[in-house]
Every structure is written in structure tokens, then in C-alpha cells.
Amino acid sequence: MKLFFAFAIIAIALSVVYGAPADPWNEYKTKHGKKFGSTAEDAQRKKLFLAKDALIAKHNSQPKASYQLEHNEFSDMTPAELSQYLGAVKPANKTRSLESMVRLEMETRQLPDSLDYRTDSCLPGVRNQKQCGSCWAFAAITPLEFARCKKHGALRAISEQQLVDCEPYDYGCGGGWYTNAWYYLQYEAGGAAKRSLYPYTATDNTCAFSSSMIGAKISSYGDLPSFDAAYMQSVLQDYGPISVAIAVTDSFFSYASGVYTDVECDDPNAYVNHAVVVVGWGTDNGIDYWIVRNSWGTKWGSAGYILMERGVNKCKIEKYPATILSVV
């Protein structure tokens, strides 16, 4: 009995010195500001979190893993909720979206080992589409902002919400396609609104665009050949960021760092469901990668970016590339 009390006193003393054992669920809720309306919902969310926690721990324990995972705001979400942060919907008929496109003629050249627009003054800060499937609009606007800045020497924020509300070929927060967006801006709207005059709301609203809001105009945009990484590199170097569509699977939501090489998204049955923007390339530990800009804010991934394996059509990233060629 005396021995039992001695151990109990030691345990209490250690608890005072080092604190009680950490509760990862409560720590996660505090860090990400998660609050739930009932104990039942809390229990459901905790179950989702613990499943993700096990997946993250298993992956990160692999000694040869080329990338790491971490918890973020998505760790306690259901598959249905996660799908609301995607939104690439490939047009069934691409005739309209490709009408103004031209085939680029890129000369053979010696490409540099790396290119990184993340620190370029013409690339705006990473934005957050929030719980609206408008990734296609964000993927359309970034190359436009970059191209306009390179021509006029100053960065101007352009509206994604105009596309969500007004572009007639897609589905707003229900998804869309970046070349449809460019077609609408060039041929129907006559230009893209300034973001300050048409701010982002992450909801579907009635179109409120007027020509007095225009802050950028597209002259031409181009499709790139599929499955040609070197061609994409040349276009990146000459024209700037490239819009692409990718197939997002579970691990993508938890990406933290390193070169993403998950093979799950390479499944032939996996379909593209998210639009992002390629802003550079490089090589890490012998693995070639693209630098990819997401639209989930700066708290996701590496300050809003992910490195994705290059030259192997990882997650179908090299299947549907397109870019802005010129602006007014």
C-alpha cells in the first residue's frame, strides 16, 4: 500500500511539472478554432480527425517519404464537405472554350534547372476560395493578373466573383473550367472587373458586373499540348503561370511539405476535380517537381503552395494546361 501511494505521489508530481498528457483532439480544436453545437457532432468530428491522424502518422513514419502530411482545417471534414473546396468541371464540348486558342510554337532551348514566380512582384498573394467550388475562377484569374502586371508594370487585383456570378457556361460555386472563363471575359464581358469593385463572397449571387468595373482585358489565350512537360516549362518561362486541372485524392488535403508523389491520384479512373496554377519548377533529391499555387489560403501546404512531381503527369497535371498569351 505504501508503495502504491509513493507511485501516486510521483505521478502527481510529474503531472504538475510536465502537465497532463496532451489531448490531440482538443489541441486541434483550439488551434483551428473548431467549435461544435453538440457533443454528438463533436464525437463525429473527433472520429474523422482520429482517422486522419492515423493516416498522417503512418505516412510520415515512412523513412523514404518524399513529402510530409500535417493536420489543417480539413482534418475533421467529411468527404462531402471536402468536395466543396474543389470544383474543376471539364466541359463536355470544348469547341466553345477553345475557339480563341492558338497552338504555340516553342523553339527547342536549354531550360534552366529551376524557375520560381512565387517571389515575383507580379504574382499576387495566395487567396482562399473557401467553401465554394470556384477553384476554376481562381485558376483563371491568376495568369490574367500576372500578364496584365507584366505589360503595365503594376499588379491589379481582378475579380473571381464576376466569374462565379456571371460566366454563363459553368456553375459558379458548383464548379467550372478556366478556358470557359477566359472565353467569357474576352468575347462576352469585354473584360474582367477589378476585385475592389466586385469583391469575393464565396457564394453564388446575381450578376452585378458592369463595363465600368473593368480592370483587365484578354487579347488571346492558348492551350498547350498534353503530356509535354518541357513545352510547359518553355511557356512558363515566356508567358508566365499556367492553369491546370488535377485529380485530388485524400492525402492532398493534408499536404505539408516535400515533393508530392502519391500514386493514388494516378489511377486511370481518377478524374480531374480541382483547378490550380503552375508557377515554376525545380528538382529536390533527384525528383523533378512543379511549383503549384492552390486557392485554399496560406495556412494550407507550404504557405499555400505544393510541389508536385514533374514529367510523369502526376495527378493528371500535364493533361489540360492552358495560359494567357496577351492582354490589352
Q: Which residue numbers are catalytic? A: 135, 274, 294
Give me the phi and psi of 201, to 5 degrees please. Answer: -120, -10
What Å distances lie between residue 111 and 106, 115, 238, CA to CA? 12, 9, 11
> What residues form DSSP beta bridges with 255?
69
Assess contact for 50 and 31: CB atoms under 8 A: no
What one-character DSSP code corresponds to residue 54? H
3-state secondary structure of 198: coil
Residue from 280, 299, 300, 302 nearest 291 by CA: 280
Residue from 318, 161, 164, 143 nearest 221 by CA: 143
3-state secondary structure of 288: strand
How many CA within 13 A on the CB side of residue 310? Answer: 24
Q: How far apart are CA 60 and CA 52, in angstroms?
A: 12
Neighbours of 304 (CB within 10 A): 19
> Which amino acid appears at position 138 of this protein?
F
Long-range CB pairs of 211-216 (<8 Å, 24+ gap) are 213/159, 213/162, 214/189, 214/190, 215/148, 215/156, 215/157, 215/158, 215/159, 215/191, 216/144, 216/145, 216/148, 216/156, 216/158, 216/191, 216/192, 216/327, 216/328
